Amino acid sequence: MRLRQIEVFYAVYSAGSISKAGELLGVSQPAVSKVLRHTEDMLGYALFERTSTGLVPTREATDLFEGAAKVFAEVNRFRSRATGVQLNSDKPLRIAMAPSIGLSAGPSAIAKFGKAYPDISIEIETYHFDEAVSALRSEETDIAIAYQPYPREGLRIIPVTEASFVCVTPKDHWTDNRQTVGVQDLMGESLIYLNVDAPLGHLLSSHLENVSEIQQSRRIVVNTYYIAQMLVASGAGVAIVDEYAARGPAGSQVDIYEFSENIRLSVGAIVRENYSISVSERAFLDALTAELKAVSAQ
C-alpha cells in the first residue's frame, strides 16, 4: 500500500464514513471512494462492508488498522519535525548589527518578526565590523548586518540594500531653507568624523581626501556614528553620517540634510562561507530590508 492509500484507509476507518473521511482529508467524497476501491482491488479483499447504516470494517481491516495507526503517527511526527526544521523554532535567531542599524531600523524589524514568528527566540548584539567578523568566526553569532562588507576568508556576503550619507547639524544651525549640503558648506565648520579605520569612515575619507580644508576642519573623531549624532545634538559640531544613524533615536534633535556628494554605501549580511540561511533567518532579513527602506524614505 502506498502512503496515500494508508492515509485514506486510516481516515475512513476512524471517521466511519467516506464523506467524513473526505472532510478530514480535505478532498471530495468521490476521490476517497476511488482510492479506497483501488486499494481493495490491489489487496484482493474488501476492507469495509457497505451496509444501510454505513461502513463496517472487515476483520482484515481491523487487523491492518493497528499498523496503519502506527504509520500515520510516524507521518504526523515527521510532518511536525519538518515544520520545526523549516522555522528553526528550537534554535534562536542570532544576529549582530552595526550600531546605527540596531538603533534605527533594527527594533521595528525585530518587533514585526517576533509577531510573525512568536516561537523563535532572538539574540541581538551590536558590533563594529571587525568585532562582527570575529563573532561570526567564533560562532557566537550567525548573521552580521554591516556597512560596506567586503570579502573575508571563510565568509560570504548577502546583499541587503544601499544607503546614503547625510549631513546632520544642531537644530537651526543654518537658518535658510536649504535641503542639500555640499562640501563648500562644510568649510570652516567643526566636523565630527568617524575613525578612518572603520569601513564608513574610510569610504567617506577616500571621497573627501582631496579637500584639504575639510581634513583640517576635523575636531572630534569617534568610532560610532550614533555617538557622532549625539555630539551634534549637543552642539559639538556638524557631521556626515549614514542616513540610519541620522534618523535614529536622536533624529528629532538635529537637522538632517542631503549630502550633495551622493556617496552610496552598501549594507550586507555576512555569514560563514558554508552557512545555510534558514527560512526564519531569511524572513528576518526581508523584514529588516523593508524597515531599512522605510527609514530611507523618511
Give the CATH number of the domain where residue 42 resides: 1.10.10.10
Confidence band, pLDDT 50/70/90 cuts, at residue 261: confident
The total of structural domains in the chain comes to 3
CA distances 127 to 54, 91, 98, 196, 251, Å, are 68, 21, 6, 17, 21
Residues 259 and 271 in one domain: no
Least confident range from 113-117, 194-198, 251-255, 286-290: namely 194-198
Burial of 263 (0-12, 13-18, 19+ CB in 10 A): middle
Higher pLDDT, 88 or 234: 234
Report the distance separating Cα 151 and Cα 174, nearest Å. Answer: 41
Domain boundary among 44, 60, 87: 87
* Dihedral sign of CA atoms 281, 285, 290, 294 in order: positive
In single-letter form, the type of residue at position 220 comes to I
- The string of pLDDT tens digits covering residues 20-72 is 888 888 899 899 899 999 998 998 999 988 887 778 888 888 888 888 888 87
Residues 176 and 240 in one domain: yes
Residues 256 and 270 in one domain: no
Residues 188 and 148 in one domain: no
Per-residue pLDDT, averaged over 244-248, amounts to: 84
Q: Is the pLDDT of residue 142 over 90?
A: yes
- Please report the pLDDT score of residue 262 as a whole number: 74
Residues 146 and 272 in one domain: yes
CA distances 179 to 90, 126, 185, 230, 259, Å, are 49, 31, 12, 21, 9
- Please report the pLDDT score of residue 77 as a whole number: 67
Instruction: Give me the domain span that covers residue 284.
Output: 93-161+265-296
- Please report the pLDDT score of residue 24 as a whole number: 84
Report the distance separating Cα 129 and Cα 98, nearest Å. Answer: 7
Residues 106 and 79 in one domain: no
Which CATH number fits the domain that encloses residue 187? 3.40.190.10
CA–CA–CA angle 4, 6, 7 (5° rounding): 60
Report the distance separating Cα 103 and Cα 28, nearest Å. Answer: 53
Q: Is the pLDDT of residue 211 over 80?
A: no
Residues 155 and 270 in one domain: yes
E strand map for the chain: 48-51, 54-57, 93-97, 122-126, 143-147, 155-170, 180-181, 191-194, 218-222, 238-242, 254-259, 264-272
Residues 254 and 214 in one domain: yes
- The string of pLDDT tens digits covering residues 212-234 is 455 555 578 888 877 888 899 88
Residues 212 and 286 in one domain: no
- Please report the pLDDT score of residue 21 as a whole number: 86
Task: Determine what percent of the chain is predicted with pLDDT higher than 70.
Answer: 91
Could you tell me the pTM of the whole model? 0.65
Report the distance separating Cα 185 and Cα 91, nearest Å. Answer: 50
- Please report the pLDDT score of residue 221 as a whole number: 85
In single-letter form, the type of residue at position 26 comes to G
Domain boundary among 52, 68, 87: 87
- The string of pLDDT tens digits covering residues 5-17 is 888 888 888 888 8
Residues 72 and 184 in one domain: no
Domain boundary among 54, 87, 120: 87
Q: How many helices (H) and strands (E) does the chain have?
A: 12, 12
Residues 193 and 54 in one domain: no
Q: Is 175 helix (H, G, I), strand (E, B) or coil?
A: coil
Rounded to the nearest integer, the mean pLDDT of the chain is 84
Residues 142 and 193 in one domain: no
240 contacts 118 by C-beta, under 8 angstroms: no
Per-residue pLDDT, averaged over 165-189, amounts to: 87
Per-residue pLDDT, averaged over 239-256, amounts to: 84
